[in-house]
Amino acid sequence: MSSNTQRAASYRRWGPHCRPLWAMVGMLLGLLWLWVPVAWAEPVVILTDGRVAQYREAVTAAREVLPSAPLVDLASGDIGQQLLGHSPAVILAVGQKALASAQSAAPETPIVYCLVLGSAAVSSKTITGVRLEVSATDQLTLLKQTHPGLKRVGVFYDPRTWTEYIADANRVAGSLGLSIVARPISDGKQVRSMIGEVLSSVDGLWLLPDPQLVTAEMFSFLLVSTLERKVPLFGFFDSFTKAGALASVSPDYGAIGSKAAKIAQGIAARPAATRLPVPTPTSSPGVLTINQKTASQLDLELSQEVLGKARQVFR
């Protein structure tokens, strides 16, 4: 029998039984084709500038939540091409520059930011995150616990960027037994002409994290002015506390990175069709630092309870 005849006979014998098998193989190949792009996509990609120490701290904490998340550094080349290669479901942008780069490179991809301050911490249907500033509620609560005699809190603010934050402070102040003495300014130079009148009518001066207003020179001026009048000064970085402010409620960079990573993880876990709109942004967790030497200069006695709440006490 010829080889062609043998093949024909074999097909007649086995062909009908093989058709279901070949159909199954075809179906599996089709499913594999659909699955491959998903397998290549990354649920969350972290975008950051590794040269900034605070960003590195946030990223370290974020990677404890997202251990397999690829890391793209802003200094490493074509950011758009790298993000395209990862095809992320969500981008975790650490820092303002990372947020701007993510918006430019992947405008339709959900973005979760952290360590972004003030008006740069935008919100939209595709963008959310953890703002750098600690909420007014957390700030004032910790300041009141530090200085229970605090009644009237002075604060200078730029109404172009801080009006909403001051409104939040006014809303919470009453429940804490506080009143906010807010002075709107458009230029830091105005502080010098107003400082005497403000300090004569308040029990403490509260600084907002506004880099346009609180420069190193302005902080030094305010520190001297408040100590001379025995009015507590409250800052927003632990370096301010170390320099002589009574206390500061500063951002917790590790906690911020972890919180942002969990938000990104939650968005990525949703079906693609339901990832948008993203949830609204949230404020950062804060940590308290206290200067006990300054408290002594101000004739204030700090409770053991509040000293125990402080991450660091400068003596």
**Is residue 295 one of the residues assigned to a domain?**
yes
pLDDT at 41: 65
**Is residue 49 one of the residues assigned to a domain?**
yes
Distance between CA 5 and CA 181 in Å, rounded? 101
Beta partners for residue 91, in sequence order: 45, 111
Q: Provide the CATH number for the domain around residue 174.
A: 3.40.50.2300
Q: Examine the domain organization and report whether 172 and 264 are in the same domain.
A: no
Is a pLDDT exceeding 90 seen at residue 52? yes
Q: How confident is the model at residue 23 (pLDDT cuts 50, 70, 90)?
A: very low
Q: Examine the domain organization and report whether 86 and 182 are in the same domain.
A: no
Q: Examine the domain organization and report whether 91 and 188 are in the same domain.
A: no
pLDDT at 120: 84
pLDDT in tens, 249-303: 999 999 999 999 999 999 999 999 999 999 999 989 899 999 999 999 999 999 9
Q: Examine the domain organization and report whether 307 and 211 are in the same domain.
A: yes
Report the pLDDT averaged over residues 56-85.
Answer: 93
**Is residue 308 one of the residues assigned to a domain?**
yes
Q: How confident is the model at residue 14 (pLDDT cuts 50, 70, 90)?
A: very low
Q: Is 142 exposed, middle or buried (0-12, 13-18, 19+ CB in 10 A)?
A: buried
> 267 with 277: CB under 8 angstroms?
no
pLDDT at 34: 42
**Is residue 221 one of the residues assigned to a domain?**
yes
The single-letter DSSP state of residue 124 is -
Q: Domain range holding 209?
A: 136-252+287-314
Distance between CA 94 and CA 112 in Å, rounded? 9
Tokens of 236: 């927003």
pLDDT at 32: 43
Q: Examine the domain organization and report whether 192 and 269 are in the same domain.
A: no
What average pLDDT does the structure give for the chain? 88
HSE-up (13 A, CA, CB side) for residue 277: 7
**Is residue 21 one of the residues assigned to a domain?**
no
Q: Lowest mean pLDDT of 28-42, 53-67, 132-146, name the range.
A: 28-42
Domain count, the chain: 2
Q: How confident is the model at residue 30 (pLDDT cuts 50, 70, 90)?
A: very low
Q: Examine the domain organization and report whether 58 and 109 are in the same domain.
A: yes
Q: Examine the domain organization and report whether 77 and 168 are in the same domain.
A: no
Distance between CA 229 and CA 287 in Å, rounded? 27
pLDDT at 163: 94
Q: Examine the domain organization and report whether 53 and 201 are in the same domain.
A: no
> 250 with 237: CB under 8 angstroms?
yes
Q: Examine the domain organization and report whether 302 and 172 are in the same domain.
A: yes
Q: Examine the domain organization and report whether 204 and 303 are in the same domain.
A: yes
Q: Examine the domain organization and report whether 66 and 148 are in the same domain.
A: no
Is a pLDDT exceeding 60 seen at residue 144? yes
Q: Whats the size of the chain, residue-wise?
A: 315
The single-letter DSSP state of residue 276 is -
- Work out whether strand 111-116 and strand 71-73 pair parallel, antiparallel, or are unpaired: unpaired
> 82 with 47: CB under 8 angstroms?
no
Q: Examine the domain organization and report whether 190 and 300 are in the same domain.
A: yes
pLDDT at 192: 93
In the chain, count H helices and then E strands.
12, 13
Q: How confident is the model at residue 156 (pLDDT cuts 50, 70, 90)?
A: very high
